[in-house]
Amino acid sequence: MELLTNKAKQVDRRPMNFWERLYLISIAKGMWITLKHFFKKKATISYPEEKRPFSPVFRGMHVLNRDEEGRENCTACGLCALACPAEAITMEAAERLPGEEHLYREEKYAAKYEINMLRCIFCGFCEEACPKDAVYLSQTVTPASYQRKDFIYNKKDLLIPNPKNSN
């Protein structure tokens, strides 16, 4: 039978000799590996005291962006939800009412915007698909939790604070 890959190894089925049955050589090899690792630099990081350096292309928590005037950039076009291969994003569009020009940039806005972070694979397709630069993945690590409902972020959780209200 011809093998598809070269990863398969032939199993040695001959009986063990006296030294192999004692396992002394195998124990010595194992002790040598343990001794080598004992003197290597430890891979563990003491988290609160030390912060792990992330790659410059690290993709963390999703954020919904605002423009310079504090209005929401999202126009509920749905391209981010369509681009998401994990189908983690759901949204509902609504029409802007008269007098809400200071809240929303366009006539249409996202009345409901949710991301299920348990489904998200942090691919960044939502960020690339957005024509208004409304959604982007920040350098912030998603916080841990013990409950599933804490990983479904709605619009209130994702929207950056309004710079006009912070003064």
What pLDDT, in 10s, does the model give residues 37-51?
A: 988 988 888 888 888
Report the pLDDT value the prediction gives residue 89, as an integer from 0 to 100.
95
- CA 66/CA 26 separation, integer angstroms: 63
Render pLDDT for 125-158 as a digit per residue (tens, 0 to 9). 999 999 999 999 998 888 889 999 999 999 999 9
CA-based angle 123:127:128, to the nearest 5?
90
For the chain, residues with pLDDT lower than 50 are none
Report the pLDDT value the prediction gives residue 21, as an integer from 0 to 100.
85
Residues belonging to the binding site for [4Fe-4S] cluster are 74, 77, 80, 84, 120, 123, 126, 130
Residues belonging to the binding site are 74, 77, 80, 84, 120, 123, 126, 130
Q: Which domains does the chain have, with CATH numbers?
A: 62-158 (3.30.70.3270)
Report the pLDDT value the prediction gives residue 31, as an integer from 0 to 100.
95
Report the pLDDT value the prediction gives residue 81, as an integer from 0 to 100.
94
Report pTM: 0.68
Report the pLDDT value the prediction gives residue 64, as an integer from 0 to 100.
93
Report the pLDDT value the prediction gives residue 143, as an integer from 0 to 100.
87
- CA 90/CA 61 separation, integer angstroms: 16
